[in-house]
Amino acid sequence: MAGTYRYRIGSRDIDASQHARLCTMGDLILGAAGDDADMSGFGVSDLNTGNASWVLSRMAVELRRLPSRGEPVDIHTWVSGYGRLFTTRNMTLAGVGAGGGAGEQFGAAVTLWAMIDLDTRRPLDLSSLSNRAGSLVDREPPVGRPLKVGPVDGVAGSSYTVVYSDIDFNGHVNSMKYLEWMVDTLPAGALAGLSSVRLDINYLHEATLGEALTICPAAAAATDTGVTHRFDIRNASGVSVCRAAIAGSAR
Amino acid sequence: MAGTYRYRIGSRDIDASQHARLCTMGDLILGAAGDDADMSGFGVSDLNTGNASWVLSRMAVELRRLPSRGEPVDIHTWVSGYGRLFTTRNMTLAGVGAGGGAGEQFGAAVTLWAMIDLDTRRPLDLSSLSNRAGSLVDREPPVGRPLKVGPVDGVAGSSYTVVYSDIDFNGHVNSMKYLEWMVDTLPAGALAGLSSVRLDINYLHEATLGEALTICPAAAAATDTGVTHRFDIRNASGVSVCRAAIAGSAR
C-alpha cells in the first residue's frame, strides 16, 4: 500500500492568481489516498461490496507553495499503521523535475481514516486488518500528525443548507466542502500571500443532504510567524460537525 | 488545434450514485478545451501575455450516460470555425476500450468562445485570427449547436453571494458554478434516472466576487420524451447573467 500518483493542475483547480486553491490540494491528496487504496484492492469500491467504506477522520496538510496552472504534481502515499479505529496514511507532494523525474518536495500530509458500516454509519474495528500488516510501510509520517482542534470560540456566521453538489460517494458532505466553506469566510487571497500553510481538520459528525449548518469562524489570531484561523461548523443541534485550524506564515 | 485528452473520473467527481455529476462532465469538457488550446500555443496563459483571455459564451452538451468512478474518459476536441466574435470548439466523449483504445462514444459537446480584453472585459475581434485558418478542422459539430435560451419564466428562488471558491482563472465566476447552482435546485438524483440529457447554457454577463445573485428555476416542463428544466440566474440589477435549459429523456 504505497505508490506515487501524478496529477496535473487543471483550469478547474486554480483561482484568479492562477495557483491551485487549498481545497484543490486537499482533493488531490484524498484522490491519491483513494487511488492507492483501489490499487491495493482495498478501496471504497472493494469495501462497498462488504457494505463498508473509508471515511476521513482527521487530516494535517503542510504546503510551502501552491502549484500553478498546468503543473504536474507527484503524490507519494503510504500506510504506516493501523490502530483499532484508525489507519494512518501519509503523503508527500513534489513537483516534477526537468527530465520527468522527481522534483522538489513542497508539501506533505497525514490522514487518519476510519472504516464505517454503511447502514449503521458506526466505525468498524480495524483489528481484523492485522493480516494486512505486511502492507504497512515502516516510514514515519512526514509532518506532525493531525492535531485535535478543541472548541472554537467562533462567531456564528453564515448559515448554509447542504445541497446535492456537496454530497460525495459516501452519501455525506464531501470532506473538502467544509474546508471550502471555511476558507470562503476569509478575505479572498488571504492564503495566497503566505509562504507556508498548515491545515489541521477534524471530522466529528456526518452531515447529509438538506441539513442546515452554521459556519463559525473565530477571530484570526496572530502568532510569532503569522496568523492562525480557526473554524467550527455546527449542525442544527449546535453540535460541531467539523473543526479546523489553518496556520499561515507570512513571507 | 485538435487532440484527444484522457481523464479519469476521480473520487471528487462523483455523487452518491458513484457516477460523475453533470458539472464534473462540464469541468472535463472545458478542461479539454483548455488543454488543447495550451498545446496549440493559443491557451489562456498565452493570451494572458497579451492581456486577453478566452471566455465561454455558450455550450451544448449531450450525454447518453454518466461515467462511473475510476472510469477513463477520452475527450477528442477540435476547432471548426472562427466568426468575428466567436470561435466554435467541439468535443466527443468516449470510454476506453479493453485494449486501451477508443471505446464507445457516449457524449458530445459544442462550445462557443469569445476572446476578451482583461482590462475592458469587452470582446475582441477574432478576424485577426484568420491567419490561423489552417488550424481549423473541417468537421461538423457532433451535436446541434448551443441554443439561445430565451427569457425564463423563473420563480425567484434562493439568493447567493459569490465567494472566493466560485472564482476562476479569469477572475469571474467559474462557468460550471452556475450549472451547479441550477442543478442544486432540482431534487437530488433528478438527472441520474435519465437515459440521456442535453444541456444548453448561455453566459450573458460576468459575475464577480461579492455579487449577490438570485437563482430562478422555472417549473419543470413535460416533453414528449421526458422533461425540460429551465433556469435563469440574475444579478442585483435583475439582469440575467446565465440561462440554461436541461432536457432529459426518461428511461
Q: For residue range B146-157, what is the model confidence (pLDDT) as tens digits? A: 999 999 988 888
Amino acid A158: pLDDT: 86
In chain A, which residues have their Cβ closer than 8 Å to the Cβ of B184?
A: 163-165
Cβ-based neighbour number of residue A172 at 10 Å? 24
Euclidean distance between CA atoms A123 and A56, whole angstroms? 11
Given a contact cutoff of 8 angstroms between Cβ atoms, the answer to whether A198 and A247 are in contact is: yes
Residue to substitute from A12, A121, A229, interface B, most B β-carbons within 10 A: A12
pLDDT confidence of residue B154: 80
Q: Are B62 and B26 in contact (CB under 8 A)?
A: no
Range scoring the smallest mean pLDDT among A61-75, A165-179, A189-203, B128-142: B128-142
Arithmetic mean of pLDDT over chain A? 92
Which residues make Cβ contacts (< 8 Å) with residue A111, sequence separation at least 6?
Answer: A29, A30, A33, A56, A58, A59, A60, A88, A89, A90, A91, A146
Q: What global pTM score does this model have?
A: 0.95
Q: What chain A residue is nearest to B38 in terms of C-alpha separation?
A: A70
Spatial contact of B199 and B245, defined as CB atoms under 8 Å apart: yes
Name residue A88's beta-bridge partners.
A81, A112
Domain annotation for chain B: domains and CATH numbers: 1-146 (3.10.129.10), 147-251 (3.10.129.10)
| B167: chain A residues, CB-CB within 8 Å | 15-16, 188
- Counting residues of chain B whose pLDDT is more than 90, the rounded percentage is 74
Give CA–CA dist A189/A184, Å, rounded.
10
Q: Name the grid cell of B156.
A: 425567484
Contact A70 B174 (CB under 8 A): no
Rounded CA gap, A110 and A108, in Å? 7
Q: What is the pLDDT of residue B133?
A: 65
Which run of H or of E encompasses A178? helix A175-183
Residues of A in contact with B29 (CB under 8 A): none
Amino acid at residue number B2: A
Which range among A81-90, A131-140, A242-251, B3-12 shows the weakest confidence by mean pLDDT? Answer: A131-140
SS3 content of chain B, % helix, strand, coil (to 5): 20, 40, 40
pLDDT score recorded for residue A133? 65
| Average pLDDT of every residue of chain B | 92
What pLDDT does A131 receive? 66
Q: Residue B187 contacts by C-beta under 8 Å, 6 or more apart in sequence?
A: none
Between B191 and A213, where is the model more confident? A213
Give the Cβ contact number of residue A25 at 10 Å: 27
Band (B135; pLDDT cuts 50, 70, 90) = confident
C-alpha cell at A134: 505486511
Which of these, B133, B130, B251, lies nearest to B193 by C-alpha position?
A: B251
Q: Note the Cα B42 to chain centre separation in Å.
A: 19
Is the model more confident about B46 or about A196? A196
Q: How many CB pairs under 8 A join A and B?
A: 95
Q: Of all residues in chain A, what percent are helix, strand and coil, respectively (each to 5)?
A: 20, 40, 40
pLDDT digits (tens, 9 = 90+) for B28-51: 999 999 999 988 888 888 888 889
- The pLDDT of B100-124, averaged and rounded, is 93
Percent of chain A clearing pLDDT 70 (strictly above): 97
Span A38-56, mean pLDDT? 88
Give the mean pLDDT of A141-169.
93
In angstroms, the CA B40 to CA B36 distance is 6
